[in-house]
């Protein structure tokens, strides 16, 4: 049995795989106590709100809350038809029990430090990480597995971890494979030198940052790979540019803050919240299949969906470009009254290419 989203969102498949994702996806770090504690009931209500809003792509990782994100996401999805949604998780950090006590705030999560992370990009480490994730999720499979932040382990990731993922895909254990990072250079190498289906690029393709245009995005288009974009608000600045706002997980530099404020004021002139423009912007590039949004409450989910659907006229992109407020050379979404609505395929089948907001498929 399959179910369609309550409120339709555009759907695409990842690369040459049969794994579908909604254009708006749910990032689970926040429900695992990112920066501030989140209760069990609130976490469950947040995932329920995402489901009711039509999101069918859910991203998680062992790193998030020392496994708490996986446990909470799995519990919230339990009882939903397994073929009706897509889950991605990550490998590269193994969680090992720890009796050191204290909390995990040094790593960004307001949770007890019941475990410690250990980097492991060996083939055995990949398999063990995935097995542990399935237990925490309470699932018999995940759809997409990503190598998580292999920045300091580049050669081992390509030599050992990637071939292990390729083997898991060939065995049918997972449907799609790739890597997720906060940089674009190594992701470009993945799409050029390997047979990944998709990569997750966080914070490097936003209204404020166009670095991925120099390497990753053209490489992904040429190779037929998909790119999922995370961190579209650059850790908060583009959500609410004001003194004290964070950018790249630190206090925003004065010049970057001034730029974001100019963007906000320009968008307001067209009746568009800056959050709406930030969510829509990545879809101007043909390689982008989905944008992840993190939320810690149902209210934040509803706001994200509202912003995603908010009309963004083409004239706004023209004004931002005229004021030198867009990344140089960045393609922009076509104007229109709202994101294109896609027919919803039978989830888990091989859907046809469907449009994403403001862009026609090739």
Tell me if 55 sits within 8 A of 315, measured CB to CB: no
Tell me if 283 sits within 8 A of 357, measured CB to CB: yes
Q: b/e per residue, 66-96, with b = 16+ CB within 10 A?
A: bbbbbbbbbbbbeeeebebbbbbbbbbbbbe
**Would you call 249 a catalytic residue per the annotation?**
no
Region for 340 from its dihedrals, namely left if φ exceeds 0, alpha if ψ lies in -120 to 50, beta otherwise: beta
Q: Which of 57, 64, 85, 162 is catalytic?
A: 64
Tell me if 206 sits within 8 A of 234, measured CB to CB: yes
- Rounded Cα distance, 105 and 241, in Å: 25
| Widest pairwise Cα distance in the chain | 57
Element (H, E) at 124: helix 123-137
**Is the four-CA dihedral 31, 33, 34, 36 of positive or negative sign?**
positive
Q: Are strands 57-59 and 24-27 parallel, antiparallel or unpaired?
A: parallel
Tell me if 95 sits within 8 A of 87, measured CB to CB: no
Residue 313 burial (10 A CB sphere; 0-12, 13-18, 19+):
middle
- Rounded Cα distance, 25 and 53, in Å: 11
Residue 218 contacts by C-beta under 8 Å, 6 or more apart in sequence? none
Tell me if 86 sits within 8 A of 21, measured CB to CB: yes
Tokens of 56: 């069918």
Tell me if 354 sits within 8 A of 20, measured CB to CB: no
- Rounded Cα distance, 91 and 123, in Å: 10
Catalytic annotation, residues: 64
């Amino acid at each position: 049995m399959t179910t369609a989203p309550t409120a339709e969102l555009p759907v695409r498949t990842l690369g040459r795989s049969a794994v579908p994702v909604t254009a708006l996806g749910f990032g689970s770090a926040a429900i695992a106590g990112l920066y501030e504690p989140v209760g069990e009931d609130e976490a469950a209500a947040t995932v329920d709100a995402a489901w009711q809003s039509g999101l069918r792509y859910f991203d998680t990782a062992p790193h998030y809350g020392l496994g708490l994100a996986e446990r909470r996401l799995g519990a919230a999805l339990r009882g939903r038809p397994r073929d009706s949604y897509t889950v991605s998780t990550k490998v590269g950090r193994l969680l090992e029990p720890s009796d050191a006590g204290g909390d995990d705030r040094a790593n960004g999560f307001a949770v007890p430090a019941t475990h410690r992370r250990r980097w492991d990009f060996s083939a055995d480490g990949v398999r063990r990480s995935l097995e542990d994730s399935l237990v925490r999720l309470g699932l018999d499979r995940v759809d997409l597995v990503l190598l998580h932040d292999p920045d300091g382990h580049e050669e081992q990731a390509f030599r050992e971890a990637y071939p292990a993922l390729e083997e898991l895909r060939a065995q049918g254990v997972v449907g799609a494979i790739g890597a997720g990072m906060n940089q674009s250079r190594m992701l470009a190498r993945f799409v050029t030198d390997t047979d990944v289906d998709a990569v997750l690029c966080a914070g490097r393709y936003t209204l404020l940052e166009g670095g991925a245009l120099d390497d990753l995005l053209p490489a992904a288009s040429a190779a037929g790979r998909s790119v999922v974009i995370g961190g579209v608000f650059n850790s908060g600045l583009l959500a609410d540019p004001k003194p004290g706002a964070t950018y790249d997980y630190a206090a925003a530099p004065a010049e970057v803050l001034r730029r974001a404020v100019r963007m906000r004021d320009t968008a307001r002139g067209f009746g568009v919240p800056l959050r709406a423009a930030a969510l829509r912007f990545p879809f101007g590039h043909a390689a982008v299949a989905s944008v992840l949004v993190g939320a810690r409450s149902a209210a934040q989910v509803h706001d994200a969906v509202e912003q995603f659907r908010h009309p963004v006229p083409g004239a706004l992109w023209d004004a931002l470009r005229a004021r030198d407020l867009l990344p140089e050379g960045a393609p922009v979404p076509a104007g229109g009254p709202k994101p294109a609505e896609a027919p919803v395929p039978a989830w888990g089948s091989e859907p046809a290419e469907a449009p994403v907001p403001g862009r026609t498929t090739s």
